[in-house]
Structure 1
Amino acid sequence: MKRQLVLAVLLLVTRSATGQTQALTPLSLDALLTSREIVNEISGPSFAPGGQLFTYTALDRRPERIAVGRNTTPGGWYVLGGDIWLAPSRAGATHRNLTQGKGNNWGPSWSPDGRRVAFYSDRAQGPDSGIVHLWLWEQATGITRQVGSVRVLVTSLTLLDRPSWTADGRSVLVSLRPEIPHNEPGQAEARIQVDRGVTATVYSFDPANPDSSTSKTSPSNLNPWQRSAMRDLALVDVQTGVVRRLTRGLHVYSQALSPSRRVVMWVAVTGIARPGTNQLRTDLMVTELATGTTRRLVSDVPLLYAPHAALVSWSPNSDALAYRVEGPEIKDEVYVVSVAGGPPRRIADD
C-alpha cells in the first residue's frame, strides 16, 4: 500500500447543510493536473519545536512546472515540482509557499530553536543549475538563501534523508559526494578519523586470499545499486558554509542522528554476506559530533539491502541502538547494543 497522500481527488462531493449528498461532479482534467501532491515517503510534515507550525513538501505536477527539470533533477520524479510549504497546525489556516515554484525543493527540517528551516533544492541558477545544494529559510526575515557551495549527494539511499540539525543549531548533517575516490582491490579503500589525531585504515582487500579476515571488509563485490551507498557524512556550518567531513570514501548504507543531536549512528557496508543475494555485511558505527571520534559498536551485522527501511533505530535517551538482522538462511532477530560499548543483547526472534 502506498504511503502517499494525493490531494487531487477524482470526484467532488457537494453536500447540503443537512449533510445529504446532492451531486457527484467529476473533476476537470485541468483541475486534476493543477492539484498538488503531498508525498509522505519523500518529505512528510516536519513540526517546529512547540508544534505551532509545520512544513511539508507538495509536488506541483503541472506540465509547465515539471518540463524543465524532468531529465536533470537528481531526485528524479519523486521530487519533481516540489515546493516547501509552511502552515500553522490548526484547521483552516492559510498555507504559504516558501520556495515559490523555483527549482525542485524537498526535505524541510526545523532548527532546534524553531527560527530556521533547512532543506534541499536544485533551484540555483547559472553553472550550478540542477545541482542539489543545502538551503535555509529564515523565519524572522523570510529570506531564503543557499548555504555555501556544498553539493549534496542524492541517490536511491539518500533521497529520503533530511538535513539533521546539531544540538546547538549551528550545523546540519548531510551526505556529500565522496572526497576520496573508490580504489581498486589491493589498496586501502577508505580512512576515517577514529580518535583525535589518529587515522586508521579500516577497509582493505587481499586478492590472493579472498577468504581472509581482511577481505570481508572490502565492498568491491557490491552491485551498482549497493555501491550507491558510497558517500561522505559531513557537518555544514549554516552561517559560513564550512564543511567538516566525518567520514571519507565509505559505503554508508544509512545514518541517523541521535535524539540528543550529539551522536550520529551510521551503517558501514563491508561486503556481501552471500553472493547473488541482497544480504549485506555491515558494521554498526557511531561518531561523536563534537570530537569526531568514531567507534565500531558491532561488526559483521547481516542486513538486507532494502532502501529506505529503518533497520536501525535510537533509544529515546540516546544511550542504545536497536537493529534487526534477517535474510536467506538467517534467523530473524532483534538486538539492542549500548552506545557505551559491550556485546549486543538479543531481545526478540521469530
Structure 2
Amino acid sequence: MSENIKNIIGKVFNDIADAVETGQFGQRVKVGITVLGSEHGVENIIKGAELAQKRNSTIEVVLIGPKVETELKIYEANTEEEQHKRMEELLDSGEIKSAVTMHYTFPLGVSTVGRVITPGKGREMYLATTTGTSSAHRVEGMIKNALYGIITAKAMGIKNPTVGLLNVDGVRQVERALNELKANGYDFSYAETMRSDGGAVMRGNDLLTGTPDVMVTDSLTGNLLMKIFSSYSTGGDYEALGFGYGPGIGEDYERTILILSRASGVPVVANAIEFAGELAKGKVDKISKEEFAKANSAKLQDILKGLKKDNKKESSDEQMEVVAPDKEIVTGSISGVDIMELEDAVIELWKKGIYAESGMGCTGPIVMVNEAKVDLAVEVLTKAGYIAEGSNPC
C-alpha cells in the first residue's frame, strides 16, 4: 500500500473520529465573509464567495452585508462598522466558525499569518506575519510571529512545520531567543537556507523557492511581501494569487478572523474563504492554546522579558509609576506614531489623564482614544514629539 493511500485512509478515520466527538456528521463548516470594503466592489466579493462555495462542498459560505442578488445566505448589515459587529456576534455565538473580512483592527498582540504560493517552485509557504502587531518591541514581535506561524501551519495539517527566519533587522536576536526556547523544551524544526552558507536565516532566494514552511519576519515586511506575491503579475492593483493575509493569531485570542486586502480579487477571495474553512476544521483555536501552553512551559515569558531589561525608555522608573486613567470607550484613532514608540505614546497620554490603548490599523500603528478627546490627544502627542506637526487622526 502506497504512503499516499495510507495518508488518505488515516485522514478519513480522523474525520470520522472528529465527527463522533462533535456529533457533527455531515455538517458543513459555516464560514462568513463581509461584503463591503473592496476596492473592486461588492460584486468582486460575491463572485469570490460563490466560487468558494461551488468548489468546496465541506463549507457553507454566508455573507455579512447588504442584501444582494445571490443564492448564498445573507446576514444583513449596511455599513462596514455594522458588518464587523455582526461578524463578531456570529463568531462569538458559534453561528459561524470562522470569518473573512477587510480593514479590521486587531488588538496589540494579534497578527495575521499569510499563505502564499511561491513563484520559484509553486510551493505554499506561510508568512508570519502580514498585518497587525504581535508586539511593540520588534524582536519580541518576531519571536511571537514564529509561534503564530507554527500554530497556523499545524492547523493546516503540517505536523512538524519547518521555520525559517528572514534576514531582516533583529533576526540574530530572534534566532538566539528561539534557540533558548528550543533548549528549554519547545520542540520545533528549523529550515535550512538553500544558500551554501547554510543556517536558519533565510535569504531572498528562499522566499522565491519557499524553502521553509513558515517564513518569520516583522509584520510590515510581511505585509509588503504579501502584496508582491499576490499581485506581481497584475501590476499591483489586483491581488490575483495566494490565500490572503490569513488568520489573526495571539495568546488568548479565540476568534478565527482572516484578513483580505481591499485590492484582493475574486481568486484570492475564494481561496481565503476555503483557508478559513480549513483552519476551523483544523481547530486552530485548540492548537493555539496547546502551542502557547508548551511555549510558556519552556519559559517564553522569561525570554521575552529578558529582551527589554536594557531598554531604558520602556522600563524607566517614571513610566513604571504611571497608572492608566479610568477605562473609556476608544473609537477615535490617531496614526503616525512609530511602532517602536507606540507604547511610550500611550503612556504619555496616561500621564496627561487621557485613557488610551495601542492597536494596528489598516495603514499601520494607531493610538486609540475616546472620540471626544482626539484633538487633545493629538496636541499632547505632537508636543511630546511622537507625531509630526499637522498630523491628522485616522
Q: Does 1 or 2 have the higher relative contact order (CA < 8 Å, sep 6+)? A: 2
More helix by proportion, 1 or 2? 2
- For normalisation by structure 1, the TM-score amounts to 0.27
- For normalisation by structure 2, the TM-score amounts to 0.25
Higher gyration radius (CA): 1
More strand by proportion, 1 or 2? 1
